[in-house]
Amino acid sequence: MSTLSAFEAKTRFGEVLDRVARGEEVVITRHDKPVARIVPEGRPSLKAIRSAVADLRALRKEISANPGFQPLTDNEILEAIHEGRR
């Protein structure tokens, strides 16, 4: 998150919108006090995030209940990471 004075935001409004479009939050200040925040449109709601986390937890529980399930070892994870970088 970055902070700009109202004057800077006014003079570089196009750049500010570009930064926000890329996902950055911008706080606008007047006399060094925050007065506005510009955030990207379409941010996920807290309810949607909690629902996704609950779904992931249920999936993890379902996968681990499988009798043939064996979690990856640390070495297997590291090997997969290195393989992906090649």
In the chain, what are the domain boundaries?
A: 2-38, 46-85
Residues sharing a CB contact under 8 Å with residue 5, sequence separation 6 or more, in sequence order: 28, 29, 30
**Euclidean distance between the first and the last CA atom of the chain, given in angstroms as a whole number:** 34
Burial (CB count within 10 angstroms: exposed 0-12, middle 13-18, buried 19+), residue 53: exposed
State the chain's mean pLDDT as an integer. 91
| pLDDT at residue number 68 | 85
Reported pTM: 0.49
Asked whether residue 62 carries a pLDDT value surpassing 80, the answer given is: yes
Burial 1-12 (b: 16+ CB within 10 A, else e): eeebeeeebeee
| pLDDT at residue number 71 | 85
Residues sharing a CB contact under 8 Å with residue 16, sequence separation 6 or more, in sequence order: 4, 9, 26, 38
Q: Does domain 2-38 have CATH number 3.40.50.1970?
A: no
CA dihedral defined by 19, 25, 29, 32, rounded to 10 degrees? -110
